[in-house]
Amino acid sequence: MPQDRTRKLVITGVMSAITILLGVTHWGFIPWFGGISLTIMHVPVIIAAILEGPVVGLGVGLIFGIFSMIQAAVAPSSPADVWFTNPVLAVLPRLFIGPVAFYVWKLLERIPVVGLIVSGVAGSLTNTILVLGVIGLMGLLPWAVLGGIVISNGLLEAGVSAFIVLVVVAAWRRIKVGKRQGANL
């Protein structure tokens, strides 16, 4: 039992460190049209939850949210970053990414490739919909604009997340994808 807790703590730390690294280096933001970036900062949260459970996912999501809030205050990259100094916007939505991804994975675990893809999509859309939902509820942007962001960014982010989650988790757990398995992915 102590080994299990140690493993969960280590995975939480490593995935949190990867999240912070993605944010600090801006590797977690894939440049897209019109100066907008697709984010993959939530992917370590999804992977942590699938590998170690909803509490670990929640922990990495908490670190992601806190880092997001600090980054917005210390080194904003756009005028909208000021909004993310509010913990209701920066932290609260990120707490749900891991648990949603985990429970979707558990539901579809018997068909692992589909389960990983759908978990990646579900975790990513949880981030997108909840963050944009809070922005809408706070009246910071009109709902029509937010709907456009879900379509233009959210769906692509979900696809990228699904791909990364599939490759990383399938390699780690040695799940066969097509004719490849483990490190051969």
Q: Identify which of 65, 32, 54, 50 has the alpha carbon closest to the alpha carbon of residue 155.
A: 32
What local confidence, expressed as pLDDT, does residue 35 receive?
61
More confident residue, 33 or 122: 122
Average pLDDT over residues 7-22: 95
Whether residue 35 contacts residue 117, with contact meaning beta carbons closer than 8 Å, is answered with no
Whether residue 127 contacts residue 169, with contact meaning beta carbons closer than 8 Å, is answered with no
Q: pTM for this structure? A: 0.94
pLDDT category at 36 given cuts 50, 70, 90 is: low
- Residue-number span of the structural domain to which 139 is assigned: 2-184
Angle at 174 between CA 172 and CA 175, to 5 degrees: 115
> Taking the chain, what is the end-to-end CA distance rounded to the nearest angstrom?
31
Distance CA 154, CA 129 (A): 8
Any idea what the CATH number is for the domain that residue 145 is in?
Answer: 1.10.1760.20
Pick from 34-43, 100-109, 119-128, 172-181: least confident: 34-43
Instruction: Tell me how many domains the chain contains.
Output: 1
Distance CA 53, CA 28 (A): 23
What local confidence, expressed as pLDDT, does residue 147 receive?
94
Would you say residue 49 has pLDDT above 90? Answer: yes
Return the percentage of the chain with pLDDT > 90, whole number: 79
